[in-house]
Amino acid sequence: MAHELSAGSVFAGYRIERMLGAGGMGTVYRARNPDLPRSEALKVLAAELSRDLDFRARFVREADVAAGLDHPNIVAVHQRGQFEGRLWIAMQFVDGGNAEDALRAATMTTARAVYVIGEVAKALDYAHQQGVIHRDIKPANFLLSRAAGGDERVLLSDFGIARALGDTGLTSTGSVLATLAYAAPEVLAGQGFDGRADLYSLGCALFRLLTGEAPFAAGAGAAVAVVAGHLHQPPPTVSDRVPGLSAAMDAVIATAMAKDPMRRFTSAGEFAHAAAAALYGGATDGWVPPSPAPHVISQGAVPGSPWWQHPVGSVTALATPPGHGWPPGLPPLPRRPRRYRRGVAAVAAVMVVAAAAVTAVTMTSHQPRTATPPSAAALSPTSSSTTPPQPPIVTRSRLPGLLPPLDDVKNFVGIQNLVAHEPMLQPQTPNGSINPAECWPAVGGGVPSAYDLGTVIGFYGLTIDEPPTGTAPNQVGQLIVAFRDAATAQRHLADLASIWRRCGGRTVTLFRSEWRRPVELSTSVPEVVDGITTMVLTAQGPVLRVREDHAIAAKNNVLVDVDIMTPDTSRGQQAVIGITNYILAKIPG
């Protein structure tokens, strides 16, 4: 078929009504269903694609996967087939335009953009739960239609190149099908990927809808520059491009577009909630979750289960965007994302997963409504002259400044080639599993189930380590958690210390699917010296030989959690105490 179909012509039994659009994959028409009294969107794929035997096989399989998706925010797939040498797929017809059209028509407001992303997020979370990756998230695939009640409907289209998770029988890991402007770094680099690649693309799409620009724009034909931007440049900011948008929205986009998938949001819904909060909930205090649900993050989370099987829900927040409010002396973030090799370095990553997977979380809605603001309470004397004044509560904005500068960390551990990584903006369930299951907090801080999140008012973590060398790196993880009051911080310290005692003096076993064998860690009996609880974890197996020194303490309303991995036993023990004491000394009280 050399020419496009004209109105009134018949293709595979469908009578063509009009052309809706055309692209590299093919042309979409509004066409009349041959058997039912309705119009459908008929996509006729390009002839060169239809002739490709590999693509034909992939198309059939992936169209069948897409046909199994049933969600109000996903365009339904009705039928597929081949006619006169051309592949075709019939889908639900959505009477309206798409988000890219609305952007070009100057009708895409910031509020509308955040709403559209929220609706697409519902579709993505559902698809990911079904084991399906979209792989081509972009505004042109966000179809917009007015419902009978006047509300705008948003439907995600073009699951035609979706791929079932783990289905590598027909596509290679290195194949790049996503549009370059929205493609995740791991996809462009030819690495393995999962649904978090869709979250990266969704972050790019939000940036586009808010600013009217692609995240990494380049001149005509400069595809290499766009790819380089995704791989190496920090996420762009919107606050300096769109009046009224704050650094909180910058932080949302920075998290969604993190180079490392582990540092992104854990679900599309979490991303959407954070974006809405950044727009409506204020620029400096993070976002307020819609309803209290202190333990949503850990509910349903089975150690080792895929990330999309336990979405975070509505109790997550964010804080200072990367690069803002960091301690003095921190250098610019590394331009190249860390890519640990499987095996030794992967084990090391798990041992410090919590310190690497934490940042600033603010949950102001859980603070007592009748309480006096912390600053006022600290300055107002009580009615009793014998009661000493209470130290001021440490707020989220002060947390980054409690950590030692990079040069001091280097001196603590005696290593000068350390680099600091960008903080993550949400706690994450560790990748893999551990036996006994309750021992994750002993291996590393920041595990969501370790905290009553309804009492948390700030969360900040930072990882500092060596550039990859193929061996276990020297690594420092620092985590500080602010609670609503000092008593709550002490309660959390006591709970963690109890877990440490139960997990100490024994062997715990770590598992990850890509490892050839589990890793056994020997744990020491915890010791308490000057208010600091310490534990030593060692791995002496064939996969990894490393020592981790771990310390926890609390002061005022702040919990401090520091872990250091280094082959130098004396340095590690001294450094973990030194860094913990440094942080404690900067906490008022």
Nearest-angstrom CA–CA distance, 354 and 563: 10
| Mean pLDDT along residues 413-441 | 79
**Domain topology for 344-369+393-586:** Protein Transport Mog1p; Chain A (3.40.1000)
Q: Are 446 and 358 in contact (CB under 8 A)?
A: yes
Nearest-angstrom CA–CA distance, 449 and 456: 13
Q: Looking at the DSSP assignment, which residues form a beta bridge with residue 544?
A: none
Nearest-angstrom CA–CA distance, 257 and 210: 15
Alpha-carbon Rg of the chain, whole angstroms?
26
**CATH number of the domain at 10-92, out of 3.40.50.300, 3.30.200.20, 3.30.470.30, 3.40.50.280?**
3.30.200.20
What pTM was estimated for this model as a whole? Answer: 0.50
Could you tell me the two tokens for 477?
């993880």
Catalytically annotated residues = 136
99-283: CATH class: mainly alpha
| Mean pLDDT along residues 119-130 | 93
3-class DSSP state for residue 392? coil
Nearest-angstrom CA–CA distance, 20 and 547: 61
Q: Are 564 and 479 in contact (CB under 8 A)?
A: no
3-class DSSP state for residue 61? helix
Residue carrying structure tokens 């986009």:
253
pLDDT band at residue 544 under the 50/70/90 scheme: low
Closest to 409 measured CA to CA, from 325, 337, 323, 327: 327
pLDDT tens profile 76-99: 999 999 999 899 999 999 988 899
**Strand blocks (E) in 257-306:** none
Least confident of 324-328, 378-382, 568-572: 324-328
Sketch the domain layout of the chain as residue ranges: 10-92, 99-283, 344-369+393-586
Least confident of 127-131, 340-344, 579-583: 340-344
